[in-house]
Amino acid sequence: MTKTAAAPIPEAVARANRKTMEGVVVSDKMDKTRVVRVTRSVRHAFYDKVMTKSSKFHVHDQGNESRSGDLVEIASTRPLSKTKRWRLVRVVKAAPKTAEVK
| pLDDT (tens digit per residue) in 74-85 | 999 999 999 999
Closest CA to 32 of 76, 68, 67, 62: 62
Confidence (pTM): 0.78
pLDDT in the model for residue 13: 60
Going by CATH, does the domain composed of 19-93 fall within 2.40.50.140? yes
Residue ranges of the chain whose pLDDT lies below 70: 1-16, 99-102
Q: Where are the domains of the chain?
A: 19-93
Instruction: Give the contacts of 69 (CB within 8 A, at least 6 positions apart).
Output: 24, 25, 95, 96
SS3 14: helix
pLDDT in the model for residue 99: 62
Q: What are the helix and strand counts (H, E) for the chain?
A: 1, 5
Q: Is 59 exposed, middle or buried (0-12, 13-18, 19+ CB in 10 A)?
A: buried
pLDDT in the model for residue 80: 95
